[in-house]
Amino acid sequence: MVHLIVGLGNPGKKYENSRHNTGFRVVEKLARKLVISPDYNNKYYLKGEGKWEDQELTLVQPLTYMNRSGLAVARIMKKNNLSPEHLVVVYDDMDIEPGRIKIKPGGSSGGHRGINSIIDYLGSTDFVRIKIGIGRPPPWIEGPRHVLGKPGGEEKEDLEKGEDRAVQAVLELVSGGLNQAMNKYNQPVDS
């Protein structure tokens, strides 16, 4: 089975180290680990193809910006004749503390605009999500400013650990299945 791993984020240097680009960074880390090179021949997404334990993987970074992620995802799924059960989306979540991840088999968008876009374009909520916690901002900082901001210090370290856990979770999901990955990675992080 082909696994389509989509990391959400915004293209460009301006957003590179933002909290909102955690999905992009996970896909980049996966590509480095699996020695997968990106294909730059598409205006809607970057993609790379490879294998993990005899499973085919396609890694994708939409270039349509977060709020229009569904456009890129729908295009690559249609081009490759894939259904939502092949899709794994990796993205940031303010309702989870930094450093923790949560794997979920479907459901609502939880207000995440990138997920909203994917649901709208696919007409389905039946795809796996790997959420990486970025935590809530203090009351004086609005949500959009928080997600587009760049973490520092301990928060940055926690976020990097969460991204590394998400990389391992993707590989676990691909080789061992959804339930095994959820059982292993939906637990609180040990201090």
Answer with the residue of higher pLDDT: 188 or 36: 36
Task: Convert the pLDDT of each residue in 79-108 to its tens digit.
Answer: 999 999 999 999 999 999 998 999 999 999
The residue type found at 55 is Q
Domain boundaries, the chain: 2-185
**Is residue 15 pLDDT above 60, yes or no?**
yes
Look over the chain and give the mean of its residue pLDDT values, rounded to a whole number. 94
Distance of CA 119 to the CA centre of its chain: 15
Distance CA 138, CA 146 (A): 9
**Residue pLDDT, tens place only, 22-61:** 999 999 999 999 999 988 888 999 999 999 999 999 999 9
Q: How many CB atoms lie within 10 A of CB 157?
A: 13
Please pick, among 3, 20, 112, 146, the residue that the annotation labels catalytic: 20
What percentage of the chain reaches a pLDDT higher than 70? 98
Confidence (pLDDT) at 190: 62
- For residue 7, how far is the Cα from the chain centroid? 3
* Residue 20 is a catalytic residue: yes
Strand residue runs (E) in 63-117: 87-93, 101-104
At residue 69, φ and ψ (nearest 5 deg) are: -55, -35
pLDDT digits (tens, 9 = 90+) for 134-174: 999 989 999 889 999 999 999 999 999 999 999 999 999 99
Residue 1 has pLDDT above 90, yes or no: no
Looking at the predicted structure, is the pLDDT value of residue 191 above 70?
Answer: no
Instruction: Determine whether domain 2-185 maps to CATH 3.30.365.10.
Output: no
| Number of helices followed by number of strands (H, E) in the chain | 6, 6
Q: Which stretches does DSSP call E strand in the chain?
A: 2-7, 45-52, 55-62, 87-93, 101-104, 128-133
* Alpha-carbon gap, residue 166 to 101, rounded angstroms: 7
